[in-house]
Amino acid sequence: GAGVSQSPRYKVAKRGQDVALRCDPISGHVSLFWYQQALGQGPEFLTYFQNEAQLDKSGLPSDRFFAERPEGSVSTLKIQRTQQEDSAVYLCASSRRTSGTDTQYFGPGTRLTVL
């Protein structure tokens, strides 16, 4: 595709529900990142994939958060038993290679609201 796409764009969940957020990176991009952006804050790193391998998940706030990229393309971020503090925009980004100077291209984000 032309850019990184994410779905759904908006998600409202009741506290305790499980949610799954999808990211379609730019075709052929090796690296994929998930970020969490609270209102009025900058994005904060959650996890990083190189192809299908999850190389860094140090930013995941709890074991309720789980991410996968089984075939090295589409990725899913799953949040179990959602809490109100999980409300945020979840951004996905991809980059062509693994170089430190590679530009990360961001999707539009999924805005999650937990009631």
Partner 1 sequence: KNQVEQSPQSLIILEGKNCTLQCNYTVSPFSNLRWYKQDTGRGPVSLTIMTFSENTKSNGRYTATLDADTKQSSLHITASQLSDSASYICVVSLPSGNTPLVFGKGTRLSVIA
Binding site for partner 1 (CB under 8 A): 4, 31, 33, 35, 40-45, 48, 55-56, 58-59, 91, 93, 95, 98-109
Least distance (Å) from partner 1 to the CB of residue 24?
A: 13
Give residue 51's identity as a one-letter amino acid code. N
Residues whose CB falls within 8 Å of the CB of residue 40, separated by 6 or more in sequence, listed in order: none
CB of 21 to partner 1, least distance (A): 13
Query: What SS3 string covers 56-114?
Result: ECCCCCCCCEEEECCCCCCEEEEECCCCHHHCEEEEEEEECCCCCCCCCEECCCEEEEE
Query: Between residues 33 and 65, which has the closer beta carbon with respect to partner 1?
Result: 33
Q: Give the nearest distance from C-beta 67 to partner 1 in angstroms.
A: 13
